[in-house]
Chain A
Amino acid sequence: MFDDSIALPSYLDHPPEVAEYFAEVQKRKVVLSIEHLGREFDSTDGPLVALSDVNFKVRQREFISVIGPSGCGKSTLIRIVAGLEDPSSGTVAVDGIPVTGPGADRGMVFQNYTLFPWLTVRKNVLFGPKMKGMRNDKANKAADEWLKLVGLADFADLYPAQLSGGMKQRVAIARALANDPRILLMDEPFGALDAQTRASMQNHLLRIWQAADVTVLFITHDLEEAIYLSDRIVVLGARPGRILEIIDVPVARPRSTEQFLSGHFLATKKRLEDLIHRCDSPLNEDGELLHV
């Protein structure tokens, strides 16, 4: 519980450098636009609404997180953007071109690494360029550069099974980025890692994001992770999955772990907690827990 005596700023109150940053972002090109997106599943109890009327835009080099309680459809959302699932209604467009299926313009990093176990680290990173028919020597050079950026240049000839979880996920990030996607989709990429590895991976990701020209759509259920990494946070509510609020994170960049205790950080965290807990345990009219 927050002590009432601590005066937090409003999460809507942006420091000048943050306001300046958002003004600059607004001038950039829209990479991803999601309009009136809906997704229903058939279940034995009739149609189940996973997503309903989701709208937002992601601009060039923005880092957007999607957060929400389990069952809010955040994974469904990113899978639809990736083209791995079809929406029931609405559209997803990258650079104005509607998405009809999976494609190299939307690279994806999955929670369970999904590295090809039969390929060495370097060949995993080379997978995308090879599929495009890129020449070996050129692709090799690019792959080595990406591996250097994620700090795994010395492990290029190892197999994924010989790596730790954090290293595997860094390979997966390098593999997605080596393919030069317009947007990087990350579906709870650090969910399977322990706390320390997770923290170091967050720093790795921030460093990569700063070094490379990447736009990121990041799914997580970790509030601090979302605030620490993102420019904006899309908060989804459950049943039906819908946008509760899109929060512009009022924490200045470059980010550091000291900011975890800053007023703006805590205020944002409190707001996220309020939003998510409000819809975490849905109650029926009689105030009993609903079993879904």
Chain B
Amino acid sequence: MSKPSKIAATGEPLARLLGVRKPLDARARFWVGVLAFALPFLSWCAVSYVPFIWHPQVLVSSAGDVKVPGEYSYVAEGDTIDLDVFVMRNRELSAAHAKLAEGKRVNPIYLQAPHEVARAMYTAFTTAPERTGDAWLHESLLQSCKVIFWGFFWSALFGVPLGVLCGTFPFFARLFEPFVDFVRYMPAPVFGALMVTMLGLADEPKIAIIFIGTFFQMVLIVSNTTRAVDASLLHAAQTLGANKRQLVWHVVVPGALPGLYRDMRILIGWAWTYLVVAELIGEKSGLSAFIYQQQRYRHFDNVYAAIVIIGVVGLCIDQFLAVLARYLFPWETGQTGLVRMMRAMRRAMPQRALVRT
């Protein structure tokens, strides 16, 4: 080890972590990433398990002398009441020299402790729903994924080509973009009633809402990404003899592809946002219906379980797409593993398959 590098490595830890625009080293990256989830989780645990943090209510275990009259005499055993009500009642009881009420401080029902949510998540997957005919959690999850998939599929099927067209030909940009921009400002849920009337109560109107919510944004975002393809690449291709069709297929499309992929990653997150509204129109379905139902039963542990699952699914999809991108676009990341594998596979194929007839 030479001296200067040692100094750099052992420099003040805080200064190393908080350098302006200074990238973190691999170990710091990992642990700070862990902290990103650990911090909110630990504060959740603190609020849930440390009795003197928050806990604004009292679960009454014994109401004391119930015969003592007073403004707060309604306090009964088993009630969950606000802390100040409990204090006032005990003041009344102590003024009458009667037996005091007892209880323990609890959080309101809408704040469930981590272990309760974890248990709910487990039981939701393992025990049948309370009412026959209600969906299991995994069925709801699958249903939601299905609606998202089809909504996003149709949106991308039309939105991407239209966006690329607008980004490539100013004629189409002028023809489509003003109207798309106009519709974009209408919140997708306002079409809910119309979609139900047109498409019925099942999945179709929900898919339509996700389509409306993402399609118009997608056209504009895709066309901007397409426009961002370096014009000098187009010029270079033209001086190499590319015609109009070849310019689009061999320069514009591959040039925009990594950007389009990033756009889709962002837009799929939007689709999840619209999902919650979409699933509540017509016949309620999917995770939103599950959440809605559980909220009516006041099973807030289940509500949290469903919300956490949405987060986990979203995070998994995004991380998967991020890792996939590294292999799909080796020219941006230097990850040539997939390309090398494809080349090896092509070499392994019988030679005849290579020659196009």
Contacts and interface: CB of A to CB of B under 8 A. Distances in A.
Interface of A: 82-84, 101-104, 106-108, 110, 112, 114, 116-119, 127-128, 131-132, 159-162, 172, 175-176, 179, 185
A114 B233 contact: yes
B356 to A, nearest CB: 8
A202 B180 CA distance: 52
Interface string B247-276: 000110011010000000000000000000
Contact of B240 (A128, A161, A162): A128
Given A83-B239, A102-B238, A161-B334, 11 more contacts: A82-B239, A84-B238, A101-B238, A104-B239, A110-B235, A114-B230, A114-B232, A114-B235, A117-B332, A131-B237, A131-B241
Interface residues on B, range: 20 to 34
B149 interface: no
Given A108-B236, A160-B331, A116 B241 contact: no
B243 interface: yes
A127 B237 contact: yes
B329 interface: yes
B246 interface: yes
B330 interface: yes
Contacts of A119: 254, 331
B239 A117 contact: no
B75 interface: no
A172 B241 CA distance: 15
Contacts, number: 76
Given A110-B232, A116-B254, A131-B250, A161 B239 contact: no
Interface of B: 230, 232-233, 235-243, 246, 250-251, 254-255, 257, 329-332, 334
A185 B238 CA distance: 13
16 contacts: A83-B239, A101-B238, A104-B240, A104-B241, A108-B235, A114-B233, A116-B236, A117-B255, A118-B254, A118-B257, A127-B237, A127-B250, A131-B243, A159-B330, A159-B334, A185-B239
Nearest to A160: B331
A103 B329 CA distance: 30
In the A-B complex, the 3 residue pairs with the smallest Cβ-Cβ separation, listed nearest first, are A104-B241, A102-B238, A114-B236
B241 A159 contact: no
Contacts of B230: 114
Contact of B239 (A107, A116, A162): A107
Contacts of A162: 334
Nearest to B246: A131
A176 B329 contact: no
A34 to B, nearest CB: 17
A159 B236 contact: no
Contact of A179 (B240, B255, B257, B331): B240
